[in-house]
Amino acid sequence: MGYITIRGNAEDRFVEKHSEFIGYICHVETNDEAVEFINKIKAMHRKATHNVYAYILRQGNTSRYSDDGEPQGTAGVPVLQVLSKNGLTDVCCVVTRYFGGILLGGGGLVRAYSHAAAISVSAAEVLNMCECYRCSVECDYSLYGKISYILPEFEIITEGSDFSDVVRLTLLIKAEKFDDFYKKLVDTANGSVEMTKSELLFENFN
């Protein structure tokens, strides 16, 4: 199990027929956080013609959007669809529009809001959050090379290492690979290794 989200926030902008579109995207985890972000962008752009938004949350499997005065279906839904097609969750996207005096038509609006959302996604750091364990492995120096050799086989991330009286490694191991890795580790070390693991958590495996 896992999910895709972004780190922090990002933005990008473009101009279409004199209308400026600014796409903002932010990592949020609750409805309150999404509303807070939307209100922050609205406060930054009080004179904007529209502040369209969409967000998707893991909490309650929630998704919401607003056209903010644009013709129904031409703004909020396209933004939501961009987030959904990218497989994103725990994100909120706000697209601000300053009208440039030239009407874009329904199709033009859909394309413009979709593009604004898409470039904000492209500007963000996307995270592949996987269910995993954080493990501490302790071994003798003589086993370090053998253990290091098997780590890539299980897509393990080495978060840290300490070389003192013994070797201590801090590893991130995907939940579905943990049992197989543990068996391989015990076999490789002939039981001469100590390991402790955390509770299940989510970490980025990009």
**What's the first-to-final CA gap in the chain, in angstroms?**
15
Q: What would the CATH number be for the domain defined by 2-123?
A: 3.30.230.30
The SS3 call for residue 45 is coil
Bridge partner residues of 154 (DSSP) = none
Mean pLDDT calculated for residue range 160-181: 95
Classify 130-204 by CATH class: alpha beta
Closest-CA residue to 163 (of 186, 182, 144): 144
Band (pLDDT 50/70/90 cuts) for residue 95 is: very high
Q: What is the pLDDT of residues 5-17, one digit of tens each?
A: 999 999 999 999 9
All structural domains of the chain with their residue ranges? 2-123, 130-204
Q: Which amino acid is at 20?
A: E
pLDDT at 191: 80
In this predicted structure, the answer to whether residue 206 has a pLDDT above a threshold of 90 is: no
Report which secondary-structure segment, H or E, holds 178. helix 175-189
pLDDT at 129: 97
Q: What is the pLDDT of residues 13-59, one digit of tens each?
A: 999 999 999 999 999 999 999 999 999 999 999 999 999 999 999 99
Task: Say how many CA atoms lie within 13 Å of 25 toward its Cβ.
Answer: 29
